Structure 1
């Protein structure tokens, strides 16, 4: 089991089968909001889809390939964040995150991303944390920018988003540069 206390309000916990209903509920409530930038919403139409996602997360965690956690705020899951991929040979974590719409705009995700970055360097002894964000997604881009990540460039047409491609900005933080 993975638990990581951020502060008195926040905790990251490994997603488990029992979390599927809550994660699906947040997804459903925020479906149109999240769909603007996340490509998996049309493939998450019922509770079984979220259960399947969590099963994959648990398998990948057991195989040391990723760590996807529920963001617990005052005891309730409000979103998902973690390392979508861990590349042990290059000592790199690829961070991803999303919050339910009603929890946006309070600095929650910046605190979560800071904690995940800190954990990657101090606990996992990785050398780099990378975040890829759609070029036009200003809210999400603000998170690594506030944390001092370096804009390492643009990957053109990096992701198919329902009806069109979006470019990604790649942000990176090296362990030697992390001072937060």
Structure 2
């Protein structure tokens, strides 16, 4: 089991098959809330649906092409965060995240995202990090704004959510901007 500590009660964990019941329960209890912004929620109807996904996440990590990690707060899974991919040629990545509704407002996602930003610039030596979120998702947009990302603009019809397209904001942070913060 790989766990990356952030602070006393907060860490990131690469999920394993044994984590599936906890992950499924977390998504299931937050299904209505998560569904508003995440296009994959309806396709995860039972625990077994996570088995191939966790294998893909582990392969992504082994291939050094990003990762998806569980966020543990007080030793309980409360959400996920990761690099969607890593483009080593262009030295960039994008960060995606979600947090259960009842764990918001505690600084968890800001600290987890800051950790990934630090790692991307200082360990992976990347130059650019992107975060994309729905234009109406104020809680998600607050994370890059709080961390000094620049809002580059709006991507029209950026993502299909069940029965409609929605626009997304594109935020970015460059290494040179990060170094002067």
Give the aligned CA root-mean-square deviation in angstroms.
1.2
SS of the aligned residue for 1:6 comes to strand
Structure 1 residue 3 displacement after superposition: 3.2
State TM-score, norm by structure 1: 0.95
Question: Residues of 2 paired with 1:49 and 1:66: CA distance?
Answer: 21
User: In structure 2, what is the equivalent of residue 55 of structure 1?
Assistant: 55
* Residue 163 of structure 1 pairs with residue 163 of structure 2: yes
Question: Residues of 2 paired with 1:162 and 1:105: CA distance?
Answer: 27
Question: Residues of 2 paired with 1:2 and 1:168: CA distance?
Answer: 32
Question: Residues of 2 paired with 1:46 and 1:131: CA distance?
Answer: 29
Structure 1 residue 17 displacement after superposition: 1.5
Deviation per CA, 1:135-158: give whole Å up to 9, x if none. 111110000000000001111101
SS of the aligned residue for 1:33 comes to helix
Unaligned runs of 5+ in 2: none
Question: Residues of 2 paired with 1:78 and 1:3: CA distance?
Answer: 15
Question: Residues of 2 paired with 1:16 and 1:90: CA distance?
Answer: 31
Unaligned runs of 5+ in 1: none
User: In structure 2, what is the equivalent of residue 129 of structure 1?
Assistant: 129
User: In structure 2, what is the equivalent of residue 91 of structure 1?
Assistant: 91
Counterparts of residues 1-180 of structure 1 (less than 5 Å):
2-179=2-179
Question: Residues of 1 paired with 2:15 and 2:119: CA distance?
Answer: 17
Question: Residues of 2 paired with 1:24 and 1:84: CA distance?
Answer: 21
Structure 1 residue 117 displacement after superposition: 0.6
Structure 1 residue 82 displacement after superposition: 0.9
State TM-score, norm by structure 2: 0.95
Return structure 1 stretches of 4+ with deviation > 6 angstroms.
none
Question: Residues of 2 paired with 1:21 and 1:51: CA distance?
Answer: 11
SS of the aligned residue for 2:105 comes to coil
Structure 1 residue 2 displacement after superposition: 4.5
Structure 1 residue 24 displacement after superposition: 0.8
